[in-house]
Structure 1
Amino acid sequence: MVSSMCGDSLVRSTSTHYRGFEEDPSNNLCSSVYLTEDWMLQKFLETHKKNMKKKAERIFECKKENEVHLKAVYTELFITEGDMKDVYQEREILKIDDAFKKKQTQDKPINCNKLFTLLRENNEKKIVLTKGIAGVGKTVSVHKFILDWAEGKANQDIHCVFLLPFREINGIKDREVNLHEFLLEFYDELKDLEKSKLYTEYKFAFIFDGLDESRMPLKFESEALKMIDKRSSVDVLFTSLVKGKLLPSALVWVTSRPAAANQIPPEYVGLFTEVRGFTDQQKEEYFRKRIKDETQASRIISHIKTSRSLYIMCHIPVFCWITATVLQNILIKNSEESISTTLTEMYIHFLLIQMKMKSQKYDEQAERQRTKLLNLNKEIILKLAKLAFELLKQENIVFYEEDLKACGIDVCKDTEFTGMIAEIFKMEDGLHETKVYCFVHLSVQEFLSAVHVFICYLNKNMQELQFFFDKPEENITLQELLQKAVDKAMKSKRGHLDLFLRFLMGISLKSSQNLVKGLITHIEDTTESIMKASKYIKQIQNRNISDEALVNLFYCLLELKDHSLYEEIQSYLSSDEHPGRDLSSSMCTLLTSVLLMSEKVLDEFNPKRFTSPSNYKRLIPAVRCCRKALFDRCGFDETCCETVSSALQSSNSNLTELDLTSSRLQDSGVTLIYDGLKSPHCQVNILRLCGCHLTAQSCERLSSALQSSNSVLRELDLSNNDLQDSGVKLLSDGLKSPNSKMEILRFSICNLTAQSCGSLSSVLKSSNSVLRELDLSNNDLQDSGVTLLSEGLKSPNCQLKILR
């Protein structure tokens, strides 16, 4: 905006840096021209949006040369609202393996573009905190948000979006800066706007990505920074933004792995969300996008479904990439109809494929040169494995060039020959030309760590193995190492060694050693040690340990190819008779896990067959794996209804009969079940809620369910509940709906009077009613009630055959 006239409308720059001409003293006109602040701000906003678009629109799947446009490969991720109380001491491996426990069908998905809209609707706080395990798609969601904003498709009320990865912030964490100086480290286009009204009149959104990678001490109890031009440490600047003290109008979005999310006190979080990766439908969409050959894509999808464990892990986008890489090379190229599906062997194949890919590029060279390259690959892999283990011990996933050098890797020299490094870890440009590295996925780091530890055992490098022992040991046996590794993993509150332990078990097998014989000096017969390790794990499983640790130990047995416990559990499920002994708490947990993992559908499931009342609740997730669930007199309460509702909404739900008699569900529980009953996937046609402490409020929900076009409910038992006449009147509205399929209805002992008979009489007269059996016994209906009911019985529309 430029004006040649003097007056109040002339807006001049507050900075002399933008002065174009001096005033001409020979006339009254102001011939001086200023590049006004508004003009400068407009130019900045245009430049910034273009830069942010470039930053967000390109992504790469582990290799820089494979960089593609976000839109070409983006698959919508499942994001849902979470609960801050869940962020404390979470075991990340459980988040991977217990994906089947997620309430994906119950929770409403949240579009990443709607995060700040939901925040403003629900809370005065300005902070969104998003958690998600490594590789699940947090950063991709951030890029999608930024790209849609930069292209003018969403969040246009926000003037500036700043992406601030913690791994880059680490480079300036020891400096004192003000807000402008801090942002200037990341965005050069801000250099001329220090004193502008940008910070007072424009709306900002700060996206701090990867809190788990932060190396700053976050002390929220420290005094907050309030002035934008005042300098402070970077951690104080960050906590001040989160508290809303610095730039109160700004919006803040922080992403983090689960274990680090609790660094943000809940009182500052207005919206807490979780990225859960891909749903089953999204997994298939990803594979079909990535693999253009439809036949190949279908074969790969079909193959991974044969292993429930692998299919579950494919809710992590990066694991989908690893799986596709392995199966395209083995299943497709070699025309193998079946391959082993343990995690360890999948990752060994992944590693071998990367080494082979690089050597194939040099086929035209002499055999000696190819051998040299293979030896170099081996050397680099061993060094990376050592680095991975060092990082695992530190509970760190980010590293720098000096970390590589400490492990003997010269980045400039070695990566020139070893392109497969780019497949195993990725490099990003940080501040001041700093290179920031991390493995393509946390599981790759844990796999390489296990490779390193096992090689140290084979080479009798006892110093490296002291991590697992309280006191220095000599001549450590494999049995001792595996047992100590189990103990070490069990002590971890958040389970950072769980997946490493599984890989260590798997790599110890002789069959695994044969696969990686190019990396190891010799192959050792570990049969006896493996047997003793299996026995040790089974002994531990009988102790009082967490469900998370228990499930991981079960998977460790599967990696050891010990299926005895799996087969024992299957015997309980396959027998029609009582098993003969009650299952322990741990076995109940494993039984449920096996059911969910195998997707086996039981004709009938009754917890009372398997265990004592104290363990019934451990078995309720199995409701999604049976056609008939007899949970009567199991002592369930409304907290169990969440799991039941999720099962009813599952796309592969098989449940047709559900008995919750004598449970303390209350109206709140029925409200949760109602969400499942109205689902198009629900197949329940028999529901028994006798003696569940219900009132008329439950009838309102059930009536609404009957009116749903998805309703398939044909039999409902509400006996022995305090429904009263008001409840029956509410339910009658649903019974008269053309969508109602209700044929059998029981109201015994429900505190009903003649008024209820009037309501039910109107149902019998309705042309939509298909009611064939009605139980009103043990209620104070009196003669007047019978008279009212008889009017309905005379109706030509009445289909009632049995009346009690």
Structure 2
Amino acid sequence: SFRIQQKESRCQCIFEGNEEHSGPSLLNNIYTELYITDGGSSEHTSEHEIRQIETASKHPATWDAPIKANDIFKASPESAKQIRTVLTKGIAGIGKTVSVQKFTLDWVEERANQDVCMIFPLPFREMNGIKEKKISLIHILECFFNLKTNPEVLHSNKYKVVFILDGLDECRFPLDFQNHRSCSSVTESVSVGVLLTNLICKNLLPSALVWITSRPAAAGQIPPDLIDRVTEVRGFNDSHKEEYFKKKISDPDLSSRIISQLKSSKVLHIMCHIPVFCWISATVLERIFRDSESGEIPKTLTQMYTHFLMFQIKHGSHKYDDNSKARLKWDNQTTLLLGKLAFQQLEMGNLLFYEEDLRECGIELDVALVYSGVCTQIFREESGLLQERVFSFIHASIQEFLAALYAFLMFVNYKRNVLSQTTNAKIISTFKKTPMHAFLKCAVDNALANKGCSGLASVLSSSLSCLRELDLTSNNLQDAGVKQLAAGLGNPQCKLETLRLMACELTRKSCAALAQALQSTSTSLKHLDLSLNDLQDSGVELLCSGLKSPSCKLETLSLSDCKITANGCSALSPALKSNPSHMRELDLSINNLTDSGVKHLILHCFCAFLRLNNCNLTHESCRMMGYVSKAEHSGLRELNLSANAILDSGLKQLSVALRHLLSGLQSLSVTYCGLTADGCAVLASALSSNQTQLKALDLRGNKLTDSGVKLLSHLLEDPQSKLEEFE
């Protein structure tokens, strides 16, 4: 039945190392008890996970209240509180997934929790595959487990049902606990985000037990009042480490030698709290000691991972003979491509990659499958219950190592600094040799910038924060920093109203993170400046998904000098139309919009302040403004068209519009627009009419001559004219 199906599917076996050679191992044969503690907080932490291991290792055992995985839903004897929702934290690779797998296996084999009727493991990495669909819980169970369930059984309080939501940090869809749509029926079709939110909030199946696992940085997404118990997987303690190596390596002398070697290095011994690192260490040290290989025995993380990578390269080189396709062989280019993937995805904070991520990185799918076959120990492929291919590195620290190696090799071999986002900085001048210390300083600056953003996100998420304005102009935040910052912007506790990110080395990826924050119903952000960043049209398109949201409260948006074209205006226009009530000020200056872009923009722009200076416009843009209905521009108060070739013909078009369609305009700037005295005559005539409200006029940088200046100067004394300032 269902128990047998669960056993035969995923919970009985575990892959350790290279699946192709060793095959799956029975979980019961290799499982070593993990150290799990009861109590703790779901608050966000910005500390690097390796530092978290070190901090935890210093805690006296008497500080912790250990708990077995099978007792995760059992209340302590002194507590009458019923445990229905559990959040288990733990750094990457510490054993969270193995713990839930063992929990399920013990239930299947009738070793524990026999009062439970059904267990449904629903990993977030597999939920990502249906994030775009509307689906019911019944349909999910049918698709994932090939199980037809009576809805009445799930809704009944007579049957105890457990849902395991593994890997919250891998979730790629929004979970909005503040203003989510209500769903109380297992047959109702909604988005998977709404479905899981209602399951956790107990609107859906209130009697169900829910177990959520997460890395510490993502645990704060779940409001604390929805959690009955917070536990933490600490991995292996010292006795567990020794037990693991004795099980893994049958030769007792060799296992003892490996244990002694690891104890001699503080950082390696601390890292052995992570089960997968124990396996990496065993793989490397067993080969060195057993084969009597020459060379220094690794004492640092970098040395350990370098030995591990060298082993993979040797293994991959022997995998395919000379008759194989050259592009399927393991070589230095293979390492570089994997490093590029590791680097780019690390910048985005991703541990999971899909086929589109590989293609974007230049890795073809068939080649990726070779990598995962040859090198499962570094890069692995999984097929979820929906048969979608998912790729990952076996641990976050492996990904970090390969990313660092990629950056180093690109600098040394290709004279490119990929740690800098700007094109000019990436291509190092052949006339000016950049020293290694400058490259290393860039790495340190990036690390500080990213850590600063995670710290700021933590501050913004605090109920004690009263921060209303934040200016990070000219800081090297990059996309990874903004992604961390955006997590704080979407927090219900965040009160920030003004955010300036000018010249922060951002790309389109930052726009995706900010758009998600703008869609949050709890956002307070009103003013956003992204000027002097390489966002391009694709970035504007991503940002528009946030601007369209009814939750967006943005009043001021600055996108000056962001490499936007008419295509960006085409995306921006419907976004402004769908949510016109808030946006008052829009700055698109120093972008190559052209007349075509303005044509898209003015149809739906209801802003009071519009800056289009230096946008490669002509008199045609002025003419098009004359065809827009008065209602659509009745709120426009300030218009800047400076540094555009609008010429006298364009100024004449504007002069006509000032009497009628732009009659509410109070400030007009047309500096350096190729104007002469002829244009001044028409403009003076328009401004002498009591139909215009223009108070400020800036015509600097034009060849007006004395006659033109005299015509306009007289308007300052004309009682019919509202003009007060003229330059």
TM range (shorter): 0.5 to 0.7
Contact 2:94–2:275 (8 Å) recurs in 1: yes
C-alpha separation in 2, matches of 1:418 and 1:234: 29
Give the CA deviation at 1:51.
2.4
Instruction: Single out whichever of 329-338 and 469-478 deviates more from structure 2.
Output: 469-478
Q: In structure 1, what is the Cα distance between the partners aligned to 2:9 and 2:142?
A: 18
Structure 1 SS opposite 2:362:
coil
Q: Structure 1 residue 284 and structure 2 residue 238: aligned?
A: no
Q: Residues 472, 357 of structure 1: CA spacing in aligned structure 2 closer, same or farther, 3 A cutoff? A: closer
Alpha carbons 1:52, 1:147 under 8 Å: kept: yes
SS at match of 2:147: helix
Give the aligned partner of residue 467 of structure 2.
none
Amino acid at match of 1:91: H
Give the CA deviation at 1:267: 0.6
Instruction: Tell me which residue corresponds to 2:189.
Output: 231
Alpha-carbon offset, residue 352 of structure 1: 0.3
Residue 226 of structure 2 corresponds to residue 272 of structure 1: no
The equivalent of 1:114 in structure 2 is 71
2:335 to 366, 378, 381: 381
SS at match of 1:465: coil
CA distance, structure 1, for counterparts of residue 285 and residue 80 of structure 2? 45
Q: Which residue in 1 is equivalent to 2:85?
A: 127
- Structure 1 residues 686-742: Cα deviation after superposition (integer angstroms, max 9, x where no partner): xxxxxxxxxxxxxxxxxxxxxxxxxxxxxxxxxxxxxxxxxxxxxxxxxxxxxxxxx
Offset at 1:465? 3.2
What residue is the counterpart of 1:189 in the other structure? 147
**Pairs within 5 Å for 1:220-259:** 220-223=177-180, 224-259=182-217
**1:36-47 equivalence runs, <5 A:** 46-47=1-2
> Which of the residues 202, 220, 234 maps onto 1:262?
220
SS at match of 2:63: coil
Q: What corresponds to 1:199 in structure 2? A: 155
TM-score normalised according to structure 1 size: 0.52
CA distance in 2, matches of 1:383, 1:126: 45
Q: CA contact under 8 A between 1:62 and 1:425: conserved in structure 2? A: no
| Distance in 2 between residues matched to 1:53 and 1:371, nearest whole Å | 37
C-alpha displacement of 1:71: 0.9
SS at match of 2:169: helix
Find 2:351's aligned residue among 397, 400, 405: 397
SS in structure 1 of the partner of residue 184 of structure 2: coil
Equivalent residues, number: 446
1:122 and 1:282, CA in 2 relative to 1: closer, same or farther beyond 3 A? farther
How far 1:446 moved relative to its partner? Answer: 0.4
Q: What is the CA distance between 1:243 and its match in structure 2? A: 1.0
The answer to whether residue 386 in structure 2 is matched with residue 428 in structure 1 is: no
Residue 334 of structure 1 corresponds to 292
Equivalent in the alignment of 2:363: 409
C-alpha contact 1:136 1:317 (8 A) present in aligned 2? yes
- The letter of the residue matching 1:467 is Q
Letter of the structure 2 residue corresponding to residue 333 of structure 1: D
For the 8 Å contact 2:372–2:379, the answer to whether it is kept is no
Residues 275-323 of structure 1: per-residue CA shift (max 9 Å, x gap): 0000001001001111111111111111111112111111100111111
For residue 55 of structure 1, report the CA deviation from its aligned partner.
1.7
Deviation (angstroms), 1:405: 2.6
Q: Do the aligned partners of 2:268 and 2:299 also contact (CA within 8 Å) in 1? A: yes
* Corresponding letter in the other structure for 1:64: E
Amino acid at match of 2:46: Q
Q: Which protein is richer in helix relative to its size?
A: 1
Q: Which amino acid aligns with 2:96?
A: K
| 8 A contact 2:42–2:219 mirrored in 1 | no
1:213 and 2:170 aligned = yes
SS for the counterpart of 1:185 is: helix
Residues 100-111 of structure 1 aligned to structure 2 (within 5 Å): 100-111=57-68
Compared CA separation, residues 49 and 158, structure 1 to 2 (3 A): farther
Which of the residues 5, 10, 18 maps onto 1:63? Answer: 18
Q: Is the 8 A contact 1:457 1:465 kept in 2?
A: no
Match of 2:38 in 1: 81
Residue in 2 that maps onto 1:441:
395
- What SS is found at the alignment partner of 1:186? helix
Residue aligned with 2:243, SS: helix
Relative distance call for 1:53 and 1:275 in structure 2 (3 A) is: farther
Q: Secondary structure at the match of 2:37?
A: strand
Change (3 A) 1:434 1:414: closer
Conserved 8 A contact 2:379-2:392:
yes
User: Could you tell me which amino acid in structure 1 is paired with residue 186 of structure 2?
Assistant: I
Match of 2:590 in 1: none
Once residues 337 and 471 of structure 1 are traced to their aligned partners in structure 2, the CA distance between those partners, rounded to angstroms, is 37
1:684 match: none
Deviation at 1:376, TM superposition (A): 3.3
State which of 405, 418, 421 in structure 2 corresponds to 1:451.
405
AA partner of residue 359 (structure 1): S
RMSD of equivalent CA atoms: 2.8
How far apart are residue 59 of structure 1 and its match?
A: 0.2
Are the structure 2 counterparts of residues 295 and 372 from structure 1 closer, same or farther at C-alpha, using a change threshold of 3 Å? farther
Consecutive unaligned residues of structure 2, counting only runs of 5 or more, are: 456-727
Aligned-pair CA distance for 1:415: 3.9
- SS of corresponding position for 1:253: strand
TM-score (norm 2): 0.58
Counterpart CA distance in 2 for 1:281 and 1:177 is 46
In structure 2, how many angstroms separate the alpha carbons of the residues matched to 1:419 and 1:69? 21
* Change in CA separation of 1:424 and 1:400 when aligned onto 2, cut-off 3 Å: same
Task: Report the more deviating stretch, 298-307 or 415-424.
Answer: 415-424
Paired position in structure 1 for 2:257: 299
Deviation (angstroms), 1:360: 4.2
Query: Does the aligned pair in 2 maintain the 1:424–1:444 contact within 8 Å?
Result: yes
Alpha-carbon separation, structure 1, partners of 2:415 and 2:124:
36
Do 2:163 and 2:209's aligned partners in 1 also have CA atoms closer than 8 Å? yes
> What is the deviation of 1:409?
2.4
CA contact (8 A) 1:53 1:147 kept: no
SS at match of 1:423: coil
Unaligned runs of 5+ in 1: 1-45, 498-804
Distance 1:299 1:207 in 2: 39
Is 1:316 equivalent to 2:274 in the alignment? yes
| Change beyond 3 A, Cα 1:195–1:122 | closer
Q: Which letter maps to 2:219?
A: A
Tell me the amino acid that sits aligned with residue 308 of structure 1.
K
Q: Is the 8 A contact 1:119 1:271 kept in 2?
A: no
Give the C-alpha shift of residue 100 in structure 1.
2.6
Q: Is the 8 A contact 1:259 1:494 kept in 2?
A: no
**1:328 CA drift (Å):** 1.1
CA contact (8 A) 1:427 1:438 kept: yes
Cα distance in 2 for residues equivalent to 1:146 and 1:494: 40
Partner Cα separation in structure 2 for residue 351 and residue 259 of structure 1: 28
